[in-house]
Chain A
Amino acid sequence: NAGVTQTPKFQVLKTGQSMTLQCAQDMNHNSMYWYRQDPGMGLRLIYYSASEGTTDKGEVPNGYNVSRLNKREFSLRLESAAPSQTSVYFCASMGQGSPPLHFGNGTRLTVT
């Protein structure tokens, strides 16, 4: 039982490049989330998917898109990376109305 798996662990992009962060969970959870973590800012919600087939914006959605591919997988796409998107990205999942959040180990992204 791996829990929440994120790939890649590290990534360096140049400004304007695109990439997709992958996330998969094996706990049969309905809800999945993408957060970003920046020094002094805590964890801020980018997008979430309450259930398969639905996605909603969080606190900081600009510059990102998401896809809930199936119940297990939730991807985050940066279409045109900017230095302000340098951050650590965490994927999380949660059972239906049943906290807590279960986090992956993060993707550290640097945009130069």
Chain B
Amino acid sequence: GENVEQHPSTLSVQEGDSAVIKCTYSDSASNYFPWYKQELGKGPQLIIDIRSNVGEKKDQRIAVTLNKTAKHFSLHITETQPEDSAVYFCAASTGGYQKVTFGTGTKLQVIP
């Protein structure tokens, strides 16, 4: 089955700096790569996703890049703010989307 590795497990940045979280996946058939943000006491919520036919996608301060050859994808958050502090999960799934495999999570702390 699919295996998703995520690094780092914790990340502290100063407010205004950038944060980068990296993930690798094992199944070359995976073609959908979402990123979820989980705030304390809440369920994960989608913040951005990318499909295999696209190399990069941006949404305001958030961007995701995908390298299918190397089987890795990354989340970039620019101009970080305290409200970006949360746990972030990467994930991968194949075309049917029925089984989504998650990474182990990154706890991001933005220091004011």
Binding site for B on A (CB under 8 A): 4, 31, 35, 40-45, 48, 50, 58-59, 90, 92, 94, 97-101, 103-106
Contacts and interface: CB of A to CB of B under 8 A. Distances in A.
Contacts, number: 59
B98 A50 contact: yes
A103 B43 contact: yes
Contacts of A40: 9, 104
Contact of B43 (A41, A50, A106): A106
Contacts of A44: 102
Contact of B46 (A4, A43, A48, A100): A100
A99 B6 contact: no
Interface string B87-110: 001000100111111111100000
Nearest to B6: A42
B14 interface: no
A48 B99 contact: yes
Contact of A104 (B1, B4, B6, B43): B43
| CB-CB nearest 7 A-B residue pairs | A103-B43, A100-B46, A42-B104, A43-B102, A42-B102, A99-B97, A105-B43
Contacts of A94: 97
A29 B16 CA distance: 39
B61 interface: no
For this complex, into which size category does the number of interface residues on chain B fall?
A: 20 to 34
Contacts of A41: 104
A97 B94 CA distance: 11
A106 B41 CA distance: 8
B98 to A, nearest CB: 6
B45 A105 contact: no
Contact of A59 (B1, B34, B89): B1
Contact of B42 (A45, A50, A58, A105): A105
B1 A45 contact: no
Interface in B53-78: none
A43 B44 contact: yes
A90 B43 contact: yes
